[in-house]
């Protein structure tokens, strides 16, 4: 009889455990399975959204690269225009400097010519005076001086 009660207790224990498993553990695992499946579905949706975002980001990156290329081309174009303008400004400045230099040089040459002419004139008067003082008399000296003054007046009016 003792064996019967042991088997009966074991069967009762197994039935209780089966009842607890069916009542509590099975719904827990079913719920857990549903949660895992829901998480997998959400992960799949998130992956699809991530792929869409990735494709969108790639498209935007392509657009940005195109814009960058356009900006680079525009910058190069503007740099060429600026380079041309700077070169033209430099040429114009060089021409102005050359023109100023030539004007200054001509002015200096004209000044030197006048000074040389004045020196030659002064020297010729001095030499003429020395010669006339040595060789001419008073009357002849007056006639020569008058002629020199007339010639000097003619030269100055011609100039």
Residues 106-122: tens digit of each pLDDT: 999 999 999 998 999 88
Helix (H) or strand (E) holding 93: helix 26-135
Predicted confidence at residue 149, as pLDDT, reads 85
Q: Answer yes or no: is pLDDT of 136 > 80.
A: no
Percent of the chain whose predicted confidence (pLDDT) is above 90? 53
Contact in structure between 144 and 132 (CB atoms under 8 Å)? yes
Predicted confidence at residue 48, as pLDDT, reads 96
Domain carrying residue 117: 2-158
Query: How much is the mean pLDDT over the chain?
Result: 88
Contact in structure between 142 and 158 (CB atoms under 8 Å)? no
Two structure tokens written together for 135: 């060789």
Q: Answer yes or no: is pLDDT of 99 > 90.
A: yes
Q: How many domains does the chain have?
A: 1
| 158 compared with 75, residue with greater pLDDT | 75
Mean pLDDT for 10-36 is 85
Q: Answer yes or no: is pLDDT of 134 > 80.
A: no
Q: Answer yes or no: is pLDDT of 41 > 80.
A: yes
State how far the alpha carbon of 76 is from the alpha carbons of 3, 64, 82, 86, in Å.
101, 18, 10, 15
């Amino acid at each position: 009889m003792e064996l019967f009660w042991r088997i009966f207790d074991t069967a009762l224990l197994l039935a209780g455990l089966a009842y607890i498993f069916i009542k509590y553990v099975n719904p827990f695992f079913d719920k857990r399975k549903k949660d895992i499946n829901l998480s997998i579905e959400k992960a799949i949706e998130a992956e699809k959204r991530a792929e869409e975002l990735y494709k969108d980001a790639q498209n935007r990156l392509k657009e940005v690269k195109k814009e960058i290329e356009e900006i680079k081309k525009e910058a190069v174009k503007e740099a060429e225009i600026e380079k041309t303008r700077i070169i033209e400004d430099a040429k114009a400045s060089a021409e102005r400097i050359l023109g100023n230099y030539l004007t200054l040089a001509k002015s200096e040459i004209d000044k030197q010519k006048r000074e040389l002419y004045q020196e030659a004139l002064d020297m010729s008067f001095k030499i003429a005076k020395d010669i006339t003082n040595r060789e001419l008399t008073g009357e002849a000296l007056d006639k020569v001086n008058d002629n020199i003054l007339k010639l000097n007046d003619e030269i100055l009016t011609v100039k």
